[in-house]
Amino acid sequence: DGSGPQGYGIVYSPYTDSGDCKSQDDVNSDFAKIMAYAQNNGDTYDFVRIYGTDCNQVSTVLNVCEKYDLKIFAGVYNIWEPSAFSQELNILTTAANGDWSRFNTIAIGNEVVNQGKVAAKDVKGLVDQARGVLNGAGYTGPIVAVDTLVAMVANGEFLCDASDYVAVNSHPFFDGSVLPENTGEWLLKGMEEVSSVCNGKKTWITETGWPTQGNTNGVAVPSVQNQKSTISSMKSVVSSNIIWFTAFNDMWKTNSASTFNAEQYWGMCNN
């Protein structure tokens, strides 16, 4: 119906610390931890977000979503290389095998405009191309192009209409002027801003969170307590439409000064 999923989701990555692919057993074990974390913290996850199709992740995550009655927010990652793009779409439709009941949204790309991989004016054409393939395979749910809030506001004329609902990644930590207890208001303000740029279109936060380690950025200090305060603040202000970044620390990523050496430490269920 284009309005998108309801509730809260969490990001899941299919890579081991060394960057290898996780097995189905690894994924099963991870999700047991995710569910235990949710229960211990009084949280509910309605769905899980993945970014691509490598490592057989669509199938391994679908299998575990069946077990826990979760939906999947799937993604096609490489949309800037035509052969990779069509290959990923093929892997996705093959994994679904005609049963799209577990899929609540499919993202075409992640921050491609922000990263300079695709020009804003070209995004809608790529989304429409994917829509043709996905509709042809029986998928009729929401399709979105995820980008940063900044990129979406700057390029609304091109990006708003590319998606069934507006899907933005928005991280208060990188703002540097927001305390954890004020992140809920900050997030809502951003959602309202991007929604107004997109003529009142429904807006989803497809990535937000807070790191537990790394360098301080202005008033933003990485810590487990600040992560918990951030999530609590956001939940108190925004009652749905948030995907938390991320389930586990991403040790396969490389820390860099530009991201305050925090890149590996956004995991929630490690704590």
Phi, psi of 34 (to 5 degrees): -60, -45
Residue 70's contacts (CB-CB under 8 Å, 6 or more residues apart) are: 45, 46, 47, 48, 64, 102
Cα–Cα distance, 121 to 91 (Å, whole number): 26
Residue 258's contacts (CB-CB under 8 Å, 6 or more residues apart) are: none
What interhelical angle do 120-136 and 82-96 show, nearest 10?
Answer: 30
Q: Which residue has the tokens 């991989």?
A: 117
Closest CA to 89 of 53, 128, 139: 53
Name the burial class of residue 108, with classes exposed (0-12), middle (13-18) and buried (19+) by CB atoms within 10 angstroms of its CB: buried
Tell me which of 81, 181, 207, 263 is the catalytic residue: 207
Closest CA to 204 of 187, 180, 221, 227: 187
* Whether residue 88 lies in the annotated active site: no
Active-site residue set: 207
